[in-house]
Amino acid sequence: MKIVGICGSPRKDGNSEILLNEFLKYFNGKAEVKKITLNSLKFIPCQECETIRKDGRCKINDDMQEVYNEVENSDLVVVASPIFFGSLSAQTKMMIDRFQCQWLGINFFKTYRPKNKMGIFICVMATERDDFVDNARSIIRHFFKTIGATYFDEIICKGVDEKGKVREKKECFEKIKQVIKRWEVINNENKI
Ligand SMILES: Cc1cc2nc3c(=O)[nH]c(=O)nc-3n(C[C@H](O)[C@H](O)[C@H](O)COP(=O)(O)O)c2cc1C
């Protein structure tokens, strides 16, 4: 099994990364785990190319090519992002926009079919406002659909602002355990 964890926070060791690490840690030695930190990659936003490749591949040759490969070959994609101005971080949104080529490959050119996979959304935010999560979740749902991922579950951690504050939120760590447990049950059922 291959898992890719994508961290969309610019803050190293920030709240998103802490939760993502906690999730991925469990799978060390049990699955092939890859972590991508978007803020460390060199990539540009979607350029809405006039001449789009019909195979669903983006022609911009930057670090997003690595992201495409990892996402494409994964069984589970975990995206962790803070809420910034009621939405995903710019890093996360910029990555998602770059999947427009795959959306076109699937829906317009019908030349690309992503492998079926699962998706999990980890989200942290300072306030308790549900509408901010609704917005981010909606974008993540579209993203997961585009990459062939079923929205398996989410870990939403509200009321965390300072770096590392999430460590005090025991319920968020508990939620991670629950999600992993459910994941294992479903995967074991599928193996039978
Ligand atoms: C540019 C910026 C915009 C933010 N906008 C919001 C917001 O709209 N709603 C909110 O609840 N928190 C907002 N926050 C707070 C972050 O979501 C919060 O600090 C989060 O824990 C950061 O996660 P990180 O440590 O993984 O980067 C914002 C923070 C920044 C830096």
Ligand 1 nearest atom to the CA of residue 87, by list position: 8
Q: What is the 3-state secondary structure (H, E, C) of 71-137?
A: HHCCCEEEEEEECECCECCHHHHHHHHCCHHHHHHHHCCCCCCCCCEEEEEEEECCCCCHHHHHHHH
Ligand 1 centroid distance, CA of 19 (Å): 15
Is any ligand 1 atom within 6 A of the Cβ of residue 91? no
Q: Averaged over 12-32, what is the pLDDT?
A: 97
Residue 57 in this model has a pLDDT that exceeds 90: no
The per-residue pLDDT for range 133-192, each reduced to its tens digit, is: 999 999 999 999 999 999 999 999 999 999 999 999 999 999 999 999 999 998 887 765
Ligand 1 binding pocket mutation candidate from 161, 165, 169 (most atoms within 8 A of CB): 161
Ligand 1 centroid distance, CA of 90 (Å): 11
Query: Going by CATH, does the domain composed of 2-191 fall within 3.40.50.360?
Result: yes
Helix, strand, or coil (residue 30): coil
Q: What is the pLDDT of residue 179?
A: 97
Each domain of the chain, given as residue ranges in start order, spans: 2-191
> Which is more confident, 51 or 73?
73
Q: Averaged over 29-57, what is the pLDDT?
A: 90
Ligand 1 binding pocket mutation candidate from 84, 93, 139 (most atoms within 8 A of CB): 84
Please tell me whether the overall predicted TM-score, pTM, comes out greater than 0.95 for this model: yes
Confidence of residue 55 (pLDDT cuts 50, 70, 90): confident
The per-residue pLDDT for range 81-90, each reduced to its tens digit, is: 999 999 999 9
| pLDDT cut 70: percent of the chain above it | 99
